Structure formats: C-alpha cells, structure tokens
Structure 1
Amino acid sequence: MARTKNLRNSVVNQFIDDLSNGHIVSPLPSQSILANMYNTSRTTIRHSLEHLHSCGILEKVGNDYVIVRQPVVEDYYDTVTELPHEQAATFERAFYKMIHQRELSPGDTFTELQLARFVNISPVVVREFLLRFSRYNLIENIRRGQWHMKKFDQHYAEKLFELRELLETQALTHFMNLPEHDQRWVLAKELLYRHRQLRKTVIFNYRAFSQLDHELHSLLLSAADNPFFNQSMEAITVIFHFHYQRDEADLKARNILAIEEHMAILNAMLNHDDLSAMNELHRHLETAKSSMVRAITQQS
C-alpha cells in the first residue's frame, strides 16, 4: 500500500513539474499516452488526474482534462520515500531532464552528492546509475564521487547516428507488421492528432515538440520489442539533447519542419504504405542528422 501511495504521489509531483514548465498543454493527452509518458499504469494516471482535478488545477470537459490554473508550491506532495528501484527510475528521469533543460552541459563537473541532494534520493542510487551510464563514454569519473561531462566531436556523433538509423528503420519494419488490433495503432493516431494540434500553436509553443519527438521515436522502437534497442537510444537521446537541442538559433524553424516530417511518417504508417513510411523516416533522420552536425560544427 505504501509503495502504491509513493508511486502516485511521485507521479502527481512530476505532473505538477511538467504543467508548471509548459511541457503539458491543454487539453491533456489521453490517459494511455500519459501512462506511456510517465511509464506507469493508467490506474495511477487516473488517480493523479482526479487528484489534480480536486485541487482545482484541472477541469474535466467531456472526456478531456483542461488546465484551469497554474500549480503552486502548496500543490506538491511532501517528499516521498521511494524503494531503491523506484529511486533509480526517478533519478534516471531527472538526469535526462537536467540534460534536456541544459542544467548539465558538456564540460560540466559535478558530484554524486550534488545530484542526490537535487533529486532528493540516495547518493548510492546516483552512483550506480552514473556507473552504468558511463559505458556510453559521455561522462567520466574523475575521482570517487566526482564526474565530468565529456565533449565529443562530429565523428563520434555521426557513428552513433548510424546506429540510430539502423535501429529505427528496423523498428519501423516491425511496426508496419503489427496486427490491426495492436494498441500501438491507436497511439499512432492519437500522436498524429496531437501533432496537428501543436501545429496550430507551434509559433508560440515550439518547445512542446520535444515531448512529441520523444513519444514518436519511443513508439517506433517499442514495436521491435528489444530491450537493447531502448538502451542504445539512451545515448542517442543524450547526443541530441547535448548538441541538436542546444543550438537554439533556429530551434523554432527546425521544430516546425520536424512536425511536418513526423506527420508525413505517421500518415504513411496509418495508411499502411510501407515504402512511403520508410522514405519519410529516412528523410526525417537525414534532416535531424544535418542539424546535429551543423550544431556541433558551430560549437567547435
């Protein structure tokens, strides 16, 4: 019972963070999409939505939840005590979020204790995660408890990008062969709808695209049903957050183009046009690669 309560409280706090930072817009995505976003069950999502509704943050309109006020500090649950594996999942999400929001950048030095205090979890959990993550050669252990975020060159990024293309094209092949009743076809339709909605407001809300980008590529990879694919994408995601996302000179224009490319992929998938879907995916990956290389070159 305590474990379930801790999980629900943690999800509510994550919801509040994302609502405050504009990462979730009104109306909210479906419960199935939210469950996928927060890596939890729809039951937990339903309880979280009901709690935020009771607090007056959300209002239910038909089948949708809409935001009626911004959260405040008092809306957060008090710090919850998580089990070790729950702490590990919490820190992993927080680590990637710090990279995405540029709170950790190439060249930075930090300690395990600093991160543990920031996320409010055990330093042991932080160290275990960093040791696992160091296999990607993106961070290095300077001395016990202290780490350095490494910089890397275009050659390293391009080689990793080759892996991304292999993984995603293979995953798309698996996706196109999913049975009609597979829930992921429904998720693809919902994702296409959300792209269309974002396209209407992208001029003012272009940063919200990063969540859709994560969801689309995660959805594709899920069809491969291969945990090694997901592990490899961790490093690729960090590459893009470090460099592709860090260059904000034309971020709005890049995101507008990427929305159109995503929609072309999803339309072809939903029309069961295998060849067009693969061509559109290759086109999107080539655009992303060019942007990434340009960003790395400019920073060099």
Structure 2
Amino acid sequence: MAEAVERKFMQWVLQGDCRPGQAVNTSELARLFGTSTTAVREYLTRFSQVGLLKRRENSGWIFAGVTPDFAAEIYEIREMFELRSARRFVELAPDAPAWAELDAIAGEHRALLAEIDGRYRDFSRLDERLHRLIHDASRNRFIRDFYDVISIIFHYHYQWDKSDEKERNRVALLEHLDYIDALRSRDLRSIDETCRVHLRTARATLLRSIAVGPLGGVPAPGREPEAEADEAHPFAAELSGERNGAGFSPLPAGGERGEPAHCPSPDCPADAG
C-alpha cells in the first residue's frame, strides 16, 4: 500500500499538478489515488521530513517547493549517496542481473540519441531507470528511499525551464553513456570523474529551473542560483578519499587504475547483489 501511494504521489508531482505554496488536500489525493486518507496522511508525514511539505495549523499540508539553498544541500547528499552506490555497483558479480540491465539502458540511450529531435522528452524515464539501478546496488534502504525524493525534486523542477530542453537532454544522455562506460570498466577514478561531471550538470540545470520558477519566469524564493564552477565540488577530496582523517569515502583511494573495487567490510560478499 505504501509503495502504491508513493508511486502515485510522485506521478502527481511530476505531472505538474502542484505549485509551491499550494495546499495539499489529503481527501482529494486519496480519491485520486484510490486509497484511504489514512494511507495518504502517513505518506505525507514521512515525505515532509525532507522539507518539501509543511504542515499547516489546521493539520493540512502545503507544498513548499525547493529554494536554491535547499537544492545545494540536497546536491551534496545526492553526490555522496550516488558515489557510494556506484562503488557497490562495481562490486557486483559479473553475472549479476544489474549488468544486463545496465547494457539494456545503454542501448536505449543510444537509440534515443539517434531520434533526439522527436523523442527528447523521453529522457526523464531513462534518467530515473539508470540512477535507480545504481542506487539499488547500495543495498541500503535509506539510500534507495532518498532517491525517490531526488527523482521528485529534480524532474519536477526540470519542467519549469523548457528553453533548451532538447540540448540539455542530449548532453545528459552523452554524460550517462560516459558514466555507464566507466561503470563497465570498474575503473574507480573514471567512475568518480564521470559521475561528478553529470551531477554538476544536473545541479546547474536544477538551479536554473528554480530561478525560472513554476510559471516560466516567476523567480523562486531564495538567493540567486550560483554560477556552476568548473572545478570539482568543494567536498571532492573528502568524498574520493584523497584526504586523510575521519569521514565518509564513497570511492576508496589507493587502488590501481582499472582495478575492481573491493568491499571495505569482511562480512560483505563481493558478489552480493
């Protein structure tokens, strides 16, 4: 039941049926989703923890939307989780089903590129499939749940800026293919580089869309979006394990280029899926 409500809520958001500041009617959503108001309230309560929904004094809800500050925070977490998941992905056994799915997704990327003029709006579906496949390899329910929020935030706001949608999606498809090739190579440095390049592009697109606003020109609240820097994210050294000291290291340093990743824990089987 919870998964069905989540799926329908995501579809409702991504269809553009809500705007920042708009009241969210649980009874209406229950009717649209074909479920109980209790199930909807339980989901909204959980979803509100990430800051996209706010409870009103009369126990109703308001869709809060995303400000540039919120986007910057969510990007940092997304980068950490994505890199962590990519490391776990390359630990999969060669015959794990995820590799065949990755190849299928790569093939669909190439087919879409060949027909980009007429099919560029199909990109969001492929984007969701690729990143969900990678996050699922984390074998961490918190990372998987977080990706649901990421999908809503990014794809919902991408709808606000249609000015260069075809070219934007073409660039993202090419970045995806580079990322997929890096995963296939199991080269940790290449994975780190191609992943960061793509996520920085996604962040820049999100910030531009927020600046445009939901009505195609009404600026969103908050500070102006930052210009996208060419250099790596300021946390890049910590995230890639290049600095000493405590902290999370999604991609372990020290291995030879092209060497398969190794599980950091002795009780973590290398071929686990």
Bin for the TM-score computed over the shorter chain: 0.7 to 0.9
Aligned to 2:114: 200
Structure-2 separation of matches of 1:181 and 1:225: 17
Q: How does 1:83-162 map to 2 (within 5 A)?
A: 85=1, 88-144=2-58, 146-162=60-76
| Counterpart pick for 2:146 among 228, 232, 243 | 232
Matched, 1:185 2:99: yes
Distance 1:144 1:120, change over 3 A: farther
Letter in 2 for 1:163: I
Matched, 1:254 2:174: no
Aligned to 2:244: none
Q: How does 1:1-300 map to 2 (within 5 A)?
A: 85=1, 88-144=2-58, 146-299=60-213, 300=219
How far is 1:143 from its partner?
A: 4.4
Check whether the contact 1:171–1:223 (CA below 8 A) recurs between aligned residues: yes
How far is 1:246 from its partner?
A: 2.5
Check whether the contact 2:161–2:208 (CA below 8 A) recurs between aligned residues: no
Check whether the contact 1:206–1:252 (CA below 8 A) recurs between aligned residues: yes
Structure-1 separation of matches of 2:14 and 2:66: 17
Aligned to 1:30: none
Letter in 2 for 1:121: T
Percent of aligned pairs with the same amino acid? 31
Q: Secondary structure at the match of 1:140?
A: strand
The root-mean-square deviation of aligned C-alpha atoms, in Å, is: 1.5
Q: Secondary structure at the match of 1:158?
A: helix
Check whether the contact 1:112–1:145 (CA below 8 A) recurs between aligned residues: no
Q: Secondary structure at the match of 1:224?
A: coil
Q: Secondary structure at the match of 2:56?
A: strand
How far is 1:245 from its partner?
A: 3.5
Structure-2 separation of matches of 1:176 and 1:89: 28
Greater length-normalized contact order (CA 8 Å, ≥ 6 residues apart): 2
Structure-2 separation of matches of 1:151 and 1:188: 32
Structure-1 separation of matches of 2:74 and 2:51: 12
Give 1 or 2: higher helix fraction.
Answer: 1
How far is 1:144 from its partner?
A: 4.7
Structure-1 separation of matches of 2:127 and 2:159: 12
Check whether the contact 2:21–2:63 (CA below 8 A) recurs between aligned residues: yes
How far is 1:130 from its partner?
A: 0.7
Check whether the contact 2:120–2:166 (CA below 8 A) recurs between aligned residues: yes
Letter in 2 for 1:160: I
Structure-2 separation of matches of 1:210 and 1:174: 24
Q: Secondary structure at the match of 2:65?
A: coil
Check whether the contact 1:102–1:246 (CA below 8 A) recurs between aligned residues: no
Q: Secondary structure at the match of 2:106?
A: helix
Structure-2 separation of matches of 1:140 and 1:211: 28
Letter in 1 for 2:92: L
Q: Deviation string for 1:256-279 (max 9, x for gaps)?
A: 111111111112222333322221
Structure 2, gaps ≥5 residues long: 214-218, 220-273
